[in-house]
Chains A and B, each alone.
Chain A
Amino acid sequence: MSADQIYISTDKPPAEPAALVDDFAPSLITQANHHLCPGCGEPIAIRAAVEAIEELALADRAIAVFGIGCYTAFAPNLDVEVVQALHGRAPSVATGIKRMLPDGFVMTVQGDGDMVNEGLQEVLHAAARGENITCLLLNNGVFGETGGQMTTTTTLGQRTKTSIEGRDPHQHGHPILLSDLIATLDGAAYVARCAVNNAGNVARTKRYITRAYESQMAGGGFSLVEILTMCPTGWFVDTLEGPDYLQDTLAPVHNIGELKTP
């Protein structure tokens, strides 16, 4: 910048007539301060998820089942009923809740380590059974909370704490592309993958999540939205490099777009 830049004052709302179009946090996030890292993609995804709940007026009947990962620490900040599942088991807990409360809106919030490593069979069977729930997968390609170890979604060549030289298919196997797998199951009604690495993708994330919720409320069956999220801490990159790292490392393999629509 040049030293003589003129800054606009931003410490209070404008004096001129103006409409508030975006508040600090959506009203279903009652506690905005959190302990997730600088540049983490998970709060961005959770914001989109709760804004969609608000816009579809589902807050009064929403129950979110959380898996285990960094996002778990965000659960108490929400004004949504939350149930904490054991690692990877959220789709099964959500199945039970939805069957007992068919008019409820039931979703899961899980990571790649939680959903694709620890609990792969839970999500596969829930999808195959066509359970009328919505699962959100926050995929950063690592076990973020435990320090950045390889998960099954880690891409070939990706360096993690447990694949220091890059993921090698002979030693570590190939990544599982969860959304592609789920889309092959007849019980899955809506499957889409998006990312939060730029403003356009964040808007797309909210659009896909909204379609998944609508699918559940129409009784469509199982829906999954996979969201690629930045984990600069687990990736050992600068926060500023997170969006490009996601684009270059995860997005070429875990392709963004709708995989299955009703």
Chain B
Amino acid sequence: MTVRGTVVIDVEACKGCDLCIDACPPRVLEMTVHEVNTKGYRYPRLLAGCTGCQACAQICPDFVFQVYKYDTPLELPTGEAARQ
């Protein structure tokens, strides 16, 4: 899979509102189910496929995201290949 961007997630700043999940066009953000930060909130994690579009950063009320665009898109192994 080709990925054009990535994010840094400031897990401790998150308030678990879920707004970033629906905002992400390729839907590569996913909330934790059991893990919480020290404030007790669930937080998002990143799956392969970020485009660096900034939608998460623009909608997050708590400034949790830093967004990067790769100079050259990365090829990431996916599925079975990635697990081996």
Decide whether A and B assemble into one complex.
yes
Contacts across chains A and B counted by CB atoms under 8 Å: 136
Report chain B residues within 8 Å CB of A198.
22-23, 59
CB neighbours (8 Å) of A18 from chain B are 5-6, 68-71
Which residues of B are found within 8 Å of A13, using beta-carbon distances?
8, 66, 68
B61 to chain A, nearest CB (A): 4
- Is B61 a contact partner of A38 (Cβ separation < 8 A)? yes
Q: Which residues in B have their C-beta under 8 angstroms from that of A6? A: 47-48, 78, 82-83
Contact with B along A44-84 (1 / 0, CB 8 A): 10011000000000000000000000000000000000000
**Chain A 174-224 residues near chain B, CB threshold 8 A:** 196, 198-199, 202-203
Q: CA separation between A34 and B68, bound complex, in Å? A: 24
In this complex, how many residues of chain A approach chain B with their Cβ under 8 Å: the count is 46
Instruction: Check B18 against A240 for contact (C-beta < 8 Å).
Output: yes
Contact with A along B1-35 (1 / 0, CB 8 A): 00101111111010111110111010000100000
For the residues of B in contact with A, the DSSP-based class is: mixed
Starting from the known contacts A5-B30, A37-B15, 11 additional A-B residue pairs (CB-CB under 8 Å) come to A14-B68, A16-B70, A21-B69, A22-B58, A24-B65, A33-B13, A36-B61, A39-B15, A199-B53, A199-B59, A239-B18
On A, residues with C-beta under 8 Å from B are 1, 4-8, 10-14, 16-25, 29, 32-34, 36-44, 47-48, 196, 198-199, 202-203, 232, 239-240, 242-243
